[in-house]
Amino acid sequence: MQQLKYLIGYPASLQEKVQKLIAEEQLGAYLSARYPGTHTVQTDRALYEYCAELKREHLRTGAAIDKVTYDSKLDVVRHALGLHTSISRVQGGKLKAKKEIRIASLFKDAAPEYLKMIVVHELAHLKESDHNKAFYRLCEFMQPGYHQIEFDLRLYLTYRDLKKSQT
């Protein structure tokens, strides 16, 4: 039985079900049936517009976003799928903070629900810095079914790793 690194915090019974799907080579079929399409947000500009629209819809009073990009180094270097940063710079006599969101490039070819889940997660950090109850309530508000999509994303990452190890 292999270690499911993306599912470590989940109950053993759930991990066993996933192990069974893997053993029966059904994990890919499960994910394809549940998330059949891919999104069209392929450029950094389109990603910025996508984030800005979600922010306008759900976080009208949150801090402005200055930059949103796909980052090919994110999932390899930082073991993160998305990242929000605040970069402070001195401009004249004032200190200006620039808010940036970086999304792992692997989401260029992913299901639209996965992209939205990562963007929602990073946008929620504009209001709540910690992963607490208020943070997850905000994520669920912005994307109903957030927790299920997060779990399925973990399955997708597991499946992706399995495919890599077989090649």
Q: What CATH number is attached to the domain comprising 103?
A: 3.30.2010.10
Cβ atoms < 10 Å from Cβ of 130: 8
Q: Domain containing 28: what range?
A: 5-166
- The conformational region for residue 145 under phi > 0 = left, psi -120 to 50 = alpha, else beta, is left
Q: State the average pLDDT over residues 73-101.
A: 71
Rg of the chain on CA atoms, in Å: 17
From the number of C-beta atoms within 10 Å of its C-beta (0-12, 13-18, 19+), residue 93 rates as exposed
pTM score over 0.85 = yes
Looking at the structure of the chain, the number of domains it has is 1
Interval 128-137 mean pLDDT: 93
pLDDT in tens, 36-60: 999 999 999 999 999 999 999 999 8
Question: Is residue 77 over pLDDT 50?
Answer: no
pLDDT over 90 for what percent of the chain? 65
Q: Average pLDDT in the 134-146 region?
A: 97
